[in-house]
Structure 1
């Protein structure tokens, strides 16, 4: 039990390897298989007895991706490695593995335990197969296995001898060039695949290069991948990528060539070039300045012609210019912070000021987006020069300010003129009102004066019955004068509403009792008993009385007055319909105006007051008439009135009277 902890005995080695869930093998320092597990043997397709004692490196099973010299292959004491290898099975399949190694001591010699895990394919299987084939026969791959691998390669693979004649032509080559293997074997390669359109000098150059290659194994085609033009059997040409590996067979140089049809790649490259040309055309022909900024150091990496004109820098100067040199509004510290914020957000739009080469300041709106190219972050900035528009805006602002001042001045003058006009109109209205009041009061005053004169004239001879008659005349004249004054006061003072729930039918019945209605006129009350309205009962009674009186006056020869109602969603309609003479068209516009009347007596406040009362309740009054057939007054008022007691709002909005309110006029009297 004095063995090193890494030593194992021969009996347990195979058991240990089979416990590993990955292909595993133990090899000597020279590459000979000492032991392997079943997964490793299964992958290679080789039985245990065949694999034992086989040299992995010499038999071509093993290809390390990194180049390793023989000294690298030798195991080093206490050194473990992780590297990539290509493992080829007996069928010719090549798979990329990650190989993990660990040194172990056995019977006095150092061995290497290798455990394989499938690696992320940074190299394709096709490339690995090509790599195996190129290193034939150095890898000591058998001829049979060589052809198995070559036939599975997806790219055209051709082998030529020192005389440039084809000795092998794989299936992919048949598909690429259109020739079968039988058609190509023994033919010179340049006669098959070199374009006939190639100049004679070019063909001779290829022949000379092939001759040099056959003699030395060195030539133009051995320098790596080169792009050439290939020719198919039908004469069509296509772009190709060619790589040739020299192979020394029987002391003569042969070549293994791999040809890739890169038509699709060339088309993609051409599309990319076309797109780049379109981009540069748009970039350089844009009417807006465009710059590309590297936010890492604020340098300008690209700029178009418009940006060059806007800022005045030459192309050479632009290359040495940074944002700090053209920004006129922000400090360098603010610029750095701003760049970081833009990179984080991905886009931005802002207005700033930029300084041209000659020191002029330009107002610019910058629209920028973040993009990545070759792993770096850049800002694509569009510069919209708004200097002239800002100047126009400033001028417009000045004009606007001057206009406001002028408007204010004219407004003040207008107010002054309006005040003078109102004063003039007030005086005119006062004169008109005084004239009407004087006209209406003159009759009752004349009656009083005449009665007094009669009583004085008769003196003691005045009979009691005559005195009583004179007193009655005087009393009637006083009552009439008082009614004129009351109408004026009623219209001039603000209405006060005492709201309560009222029955429209009851209010109408009370109103009818207070109007003297001739026998030849009939009143029909069709108001519904169920309708209850929140309103001022005395004010509504006054409206009803006025409308009934007007209807009676409109039917001197008799007729019918119909009062009906219609309940709506949140209001009620009350209609007064008469069969009278109707209202003339020239009177309709003035119907609700104060001081307007067609009657011999009265001052024309009746309908005006009715309108004020209805509007004070939040309602409206409308009239429809037909000459010779009658008139219909319709009141529409809300059922639940929201106007507070004592408040009147609607009459203030009355525009039918030129001074808006007669109250002010009466206060002047």
Structure 2
């Protein structure tokens, strides 16, 4: 292990030591063999080092190599170190914000060592291939320079533990700068008049530089726009889909994973219509947009896998430069919460109207009803002379009207509930005692054997009304007799009361409407009993759920907050 580390260090220090040879040799030869051509190409190398050419794939073409190879061919290896030294130094100073103190001099001399071996390889090639066409000679020299330089750079990456990124360096070897450099050098070397050739080559390189700058700005602008759009798409809760002319999905935003627990990429290549319940509506709307490219909105239901969501969707056409539709952007927003709020407001309005109506009805009925009951008591003997059952029928109906009026008053004028600790078992036993006679007449029996003291914070009268309504509903649903099973279960946090009957049950489609005012499944029902039950349980901070199956019975589950009994608690 230590030996391998020593080899890696030795490799870097070997390039560093070789790099020290370059500036020494360059300065000596600059003073000894000074020519205007070397000065021009050195200055040109400095300028080109400041103006690299940007290529597709994030590649950068350092055109300073043109100067190095040209001086190599005309003036030899050592003189080529002069433009190499000043061109590379310019690059390092630029990256260090023109501060000599910030330059990483170790890395600089390592780079010098790499270029030393690369230029030496090009020099050996040029000396060994005399007589071949100029273009191929220069092409081989430039190729060898790039290959040696790339190989030495890979060695540095491996020596510093960057083996994973070393393979990416192969992508920096590109044929475009190789052929362009060879072509420009061929023009320069083959030209009979060097100065005009340098001038024309400089104009050509300057055009390349301007074009590459425009390309670079366009790429950066496009990248910034893509990053912004990607940022919006990744952080919005809206469901964004891009579809083609045939409604095939080409893009789905990451928000689909949050809403539908699916992988957005898996939606690509499938049809939008596969996930829309209102398929025909969506098709007709898309056809309308094709005829008149204007954004349209609709409300629909999206279902992906087992998740269905009601959304408000806007379909917008994407036009090309000729004004023709290229794609469609479909932006959907989950409006489930909004629909629930609207339903809540509608329900609240219903309750308000119901309360006003109930108050008026109760007020108008109760006063004459009191008078009728009084006179009925006085006329009881006369009814018995006509028929023994006449008075009972009329009296029961009057009592029924009285009960309805009482329920209307509870609904119309809800009073603030006074909660006290009460034994829930005792309340249930009291209600069962009241209904036992009616139940036995219909061959119905209660199964309730809880004698434990179970305390809850409640209004005893209202809680009796709750169980009275629930038990009466169970009795009326069991025309053929049966058993009403009542169970109590207490935990630290709540008390659960379960009432199970063997009645006719309630269809699934009607369960959601239970508790609404004036809605009932009974022929002579008012639809107010269960509404009172729901209101009372809600005021007590509890919950109620109803599970029923047609012809199999109904199960009512009520949960109320429990009370911990202490030694100082008093029962009310």
Tell me if both proteins adopt one fold, taking TM over 0.5 as the criterion. no
Normalising by structure 2, we get a TM-score of 0.36
Structure with bigger strand share is 1
Q: Which has the higher contact order (CA 8 A, sep 6+)?
A: 2
Structure with bigger helix share is 2
Normalising by structure 1, we get a TM-score of 0.32
Larger radius of gyration: 1
